[in-house]
Amino acid sequence: MELAALLAIPLLGCAVLALLGHRRGAPEINGAFSLATLAAAAALTVRVIENGPLRLWQDQFFIDPLNVFLVALTAFVGFTTSLFSRPYMRVEREHGRLTAGSMRLYHSMFQMFMFTMLLALTTNNMGILWVAMEGATLATVLLVSLYRTAASLEAAWKYFILCGVGIAQALFGTILLYLAAEPVLGREGGALLWTQLDAIKGSLEPTVLSLAFVFLLVGYGTKVGLVPLHNWLPDAHAEGPTPISAVLSGLLLNVAIYAVVRCKVLVDGSLHTHFAGNLMMGFGLLSVGVAAFFLSRQRDIKRMFAYSSIEHMGIITFAFGMGGPMASFAGLLHMTVHSLTKSAIFFTVGHAVQKTGTQIMDDIRGLLGANPTIGWGLMLGSLAILGMPPFGVFASEFLILTTAMHEHPWATPILLVSLGVAFAAIFGKVQPMVFGETTARRLPHPPAILPVFVHLAAVLMLGLWIPPYLAEWYRQAAKFIG
Amino acid sequence: MSALSALPLSGQIINLLAAVLLLISFAMLVQRRILSLIDLFAAQGAVLCLSTVLVAVTTGQRHLYFSAAITLVLKVVLLPWILHRLIRRLNVKWDVEGLINIPTTMLVGIVVVVVAFNLALPISQLAGTLTRPTLGIALATVLLAFLMMITRSKAVPQVIGFLSMENGLFFAATSATYGMPMVVEMGIALDVLIGMIIFGVFFFQIRTQFDSLDISHLEQLKEK
């Protein structure tokens, strides 16, 4: 029941907003649908807290500790982003950067994007997971090119082709997975259902599964933005409207990591070696290192934070690659806090860019003078994402680093140097943007400050105290990720 | 040769069709006329449809008839028709300029096929189906389509390469496992169709912006 509502509400929202078009109330209706989705997600979460994991509709859907908190997080960030996009998109419209038609497309596809991500998270079928991931690309690709500038068209084309090719590799991996499972489960046995595969993973053919994992990791890894498959990510984040950058960075990357982790569990069960983990650690470290060094070369504020997303996805992939209860716990925590912090940062960046009329960091100065809340929001958000205590990112990065020192000491210096370089790059660029003389102007609509500080408060809370049921989910999920 | 003649007749025909598929992939790799390229894509779809029907008849897998019907409607009729319409509307009859010359592309293509066969060897020994030798060809088709996307500089051939890659994946699914579950195949077909429509929208957007469909215009966003 709750699940049906969770999936139906965004789908209905997509249809309603497509029909309504750009009428005055469209942003509010978008917000209302997102709020209803959040309510459904909350109801589902409460039910899982009370009754434990669920399997629904002939096992086609299932909710376990690993995906329940991601569903709640996705619905929550979706709602706050819709709050942020209300004043943001109005200002864009009044500056003449968007037409009525593109507003209709934006609101409708925003809901569609939420639907595909929630479907990808809740489905039990690896094939449907693939279809939903591709659907998420399709829903956002026209949003990246919403401004119709040469640069945004190029970003969208790159996004479409690279993610399309990448995800095609994941489909080949899924076919191989099915090939391995079919002799054991039979055609009618639901040989692509994850719960079924998990139950028999010990008897899956190891050679097929290891090849399948390579394709799956490359495929979904393209969407995660792992180096060297990351080329689409900074462009898509920088050229699309800021609410889309926020949900791409905060939510889509998480869902892609989730897909990789699901596959890793199956492969580990079949191979009994550290093959999958080693691959993920390699890709993760490479992403952290490369992204950190690219950070200092950025001039565009949204590009810089996009590279920061690549860096954090690298950290998360590395953590899951290491495996073990502690590292997986830290990886899950890092997914949560990164998603909250990064979307909060993009909210403030969006308002700051509108105020100053440029994305070039050298031209953004004195945000504190222009609007103290935006200035402090950007400053605190940047400190949080850089892993300053007492924010939650510090807690998860600390856990990952200590585990790495224990199990893979050779990796620790690479991680520490990268984090240091990233700190210097981001802090050195954010500081002059926040302080100094202002050049900003007044905006016709008051900025949405509430989402920023709600997110940062949540990240602060996770750094100091994790609610017991959340910690319990992390522990249970970490146990079976292994 | 004895291993081949041990196969039943239908198996031999499927192997033949797989070989035709590979040939068409090579033809697409070097074809420079865009209209012929679309025709080749339609032919590839037709071969795919035929082999699916043949597998369905031999093995009695009923749902493969539906897959074959989807292939026929989508890849032989609908997508080539959309592409033809787009070409007419955009008025682009020009020949395609390759980034690498034809002989080099062919040589790289041969290397790709050898790699694909080696990669698929351990798996096709396990597949245990009528069609198992063809998995290598399916992988080769995917990689050749990938190569085609890399070597072409215009938008339309890149998209055809993308669709051809999907053909290869579909053939892999049929030959390795007698097709994916129905609901997944429907989803994939839907994604391909929507993707094609979005490509169409893109063509017009790129065209209005740059007065050309040459995607080498799309190389401004780089790290400085």
What tens digit of pLDDT does each residue of A212-227 get? 899 999 999 999 989 8
A413 contacts: CB under 8 Å, gap ≥ 6: none
CB of A135 less than 8 A from some CB of B: yes
Please choose, from the candidates A166, A165, A306, A179, the residue with its C-alpha nearest in 3D space to the C-alpha of residue A233. A306
Phi, psi of B78 (to 5 degrees): -70, -55
Distance in angstroms between the alpha carbons of the first and the last residue of chain A: 31
CB of A138 less than 8 A from some CB of B: yes
Tally the residues of chain B: 224
- Burial of A90 by CB count in 10 Å (0-12 exposed, 13-18 middle, 19+ buried)? middle
Assess whether pLDDT exceeds 70 at residue A261.
yes
Tell me, what's the pLDDT at A462?
87
Q: Which residue of A has its CA nearest to B176?
A: A179
- Least confident range of A329-338, B21-30, B134-143, B211-220: B211-220
Tell whether A434 is covered by a domain. Answer: yes
Tell me how crowded residue B216 is: count the other CB atoms within 10 A of its CB. 11
B107 contacts: CB under 8 Å, gap ≥ 6: none
Tell me, what's the pLDDT at A80?
93
* ipTM, interface predicted TM-score of the complex: 0.86
CA B61 to chain centre: 23
What are the Cα distances from residue B163, in Å, to A46, A216, B119, B149, B203? 44, 20, 22, 10, 16
Assess whether pLDDT exceeds 50 at residue B3.
no
Tell me, what's the pLDDT at A100?
82
Of A153, A165, A299, the CB nearest to B209: A153
Tell me, what's the pLDDT at B93?
63
pLDDT band at A6 (very low <50, low <70, confident <90, very high): confident
For the residues A23-44, what does the mean pLDDT come to?
88
CA angle (A270, A276, A277) in 5-degree steps: 120
Please choose, from the candidates B134, B122, B120, B102, the residue with its C-alpha nearest in 3D space to the C-alpha of residue B17. B134
B46 contacts: CB under 8 Å, gap ≥ 6: B72, B76
Name residues 219-238 of chain A within 8 A of B (Cβ).
235
Please choose, from the candidates A140, A127, A132, A129, the residue with its C-alpha nearest in 3D space to the C-alpha of residue A115. A132
B177 or B40, greater pLDDT: B40
Show residues of chain B in contact with A168, CB under 8 Å.
142, 162, 165-166, 169
CB A158 within 8 A of CB B221: yes
Distance in angstroms between the alpha carbons of the first and the last residue of chain B: 57
Please choose, from the candidates A226, A377, A366, A359, the residue with its C-alpha nearest in 3D space to the C-alpha of residue A302. A359
CB contact under 8 A, A168 and B183: no
Show residues of chain B in contact with A153, CB under 8 Å.
202, 205-206, 209, 218
Tell me how crowded residue A293 is: count the other CB atoms within 10 A of its CB. 16
Tell whether A406 is covered by a domain. Answer: yes
- Least confident range of A34-43, A53-62, A127-136: A53-62
DSSP tally for chain B: helices H, then strands E: 9, 0
CB A155 within 8 A of CB B212: no
Assess whether pLDDT exceeds 90 at residue A438.
no
Structure tokens that stand for A98 in this block: 């968007």
A335 contacts: CB under 8 Å, gap ≥ 6: A70, A254, A257, A316
pLDDT band at B4 (very low <50, low <70, confident <90, very high): very low
Tell whether A351 is covered by a domain. Answer: yes
Tell me, what's the pLDDT at A416?
93
Name residues 154-173 of chain A within 8 A of B (Cβ).
154-158, 160-161, 164-165, 168, 171-172
Assess whether pLDDT exceeds 50 at residue B2.
no
Tell me, what's the pLDDT at B1?
37
A435 has which bridge partners?
none
Structure tokens that stand for A13 in this block: 């929202």
CA angle (A191, A192, A198) in 5-degree steps: 85
Nearest Cα of chain A lies from the Cα of B13 at a distance, in angstroms, of 23
- Least confident range of A149-153, B26-30, B58-62: B58-62
Tell me, what's the pLDDT at A415?
93
| Cβ burial A220-256 (10 Å sphere, 16+ → b, else e) | bbbbbbbbebbbbbbbbbbbbbbbbbbbbbbbbbbbb
Of A168, A187, A208, the CB nearest to B126: A208
A62 has which bridge partners?
A55
Report pLDDT digits (tens) over B149-197: 888 777 788 888 888 888 888 888 887 777 777 777 777 888 888 888 8
Alpha helices in A145-205 (DSSP H): 150-185, 194-199
Nearest Cα of chain A lies from the Cα of B62 at a distance, in angstroms, of 12
- Least confident range of A337-346, A376-385, B72-81: B72-81
Please choose, from the candidates A348, A367, A356, the residue with its C-alpha nearest in 3D space to the C-alpha of residue A441. A356
Tally the residues of chain A: 482
Name residues 26-45 of chain A within 8 A of B (Cβ).
none
CA distance B180 to B176: 10
CB A453 within 8 A of CB A377: yes
Phi, psi of B99 (to 5 degrees): -80, -30
For the residues A373-392, what does the mean pLDDT come to?
89
Structure tokens that stand for B218 in this block: 């799309």
CA distance B208 to B80: 23
Based on its alpha-carbon atoms, the radius of gyration of chain B, rounded to whole angstroms, reads: 18
> Residue for token digits 């690709």?
A141
Structure tokens that stand for A254 in this block: 């998480």
Nearest Cα of chain A lies from the Cα of B14 at a distance, in angstroms, of 19
CB contact under 8 A, A160 and B198: yes
Of A127, A141, A151, the CB nearest to B198: A141
Nearest Cα of chain B lies from the Cα of A107 at a distance, in angstroms, of 17
Reply yes or no: is the peptide bond before residue A468 cis, omega within 30 of 0.
no
Assess whether pLDDT exceeds 70 at residue B132.
no
Alpha helices in A186-229 (DSSP H): 194-199, 206-224
Domain span at residue A399? Answer: 274-482
Of A151, A160, A168, the CB nearest to B220: A151
CB contact under 8 A, B184 and A128: yes
Structure tokens that stand for A255 in this block: 């869902």
Crossing angle (nearest 10°) for helices B102-127 and B155-177: 20
- Least confident range of A314-318, A375-379, A390-394, B98-102: B98-102
C-alpha count within 13 angstroms, C-beta hemisphere, residue A226 = 26
- Burial of A11 by CB count in 10 Å (0-12 exposed, 13-18 middle, 19+ buried)? middle
> Residue for token digits 């998109």?
A89
Q: What single DSSP character describes residue A249?
A: I
CB of A208 less than 8 A from some CB of B: yes
Of B187, B218, B224, the CB nearest to A154: B218
pLDDT band at A71 (very low <50, low <70, confident <90, very high): very high
Question: What is the pLDDT of chain B when averaged over all its residues?
Answer: 79
Report pLDDT digits (tens) over A268-327: 888 888 888 899 999 999 999 999 999 888 889 999 999 999 999 999 999 999 888 889
CB contact under 8 A, B119 and A211: yes
B41 contacts: CB under 8 Å, gap ≥ 6: B28, B75, B79, B80, B83, B160, B163, B164, B167
- What DSSP element (H or E) covers A231? none
Q: Which amino acid is at A381?
A: G
Tell whether A416 is covered by a domain. Answer: yes
CB of A92 less than 8 A from some CB of B: no
CA distance A224 to A243: 18
Structural domains counted in chain A: 1
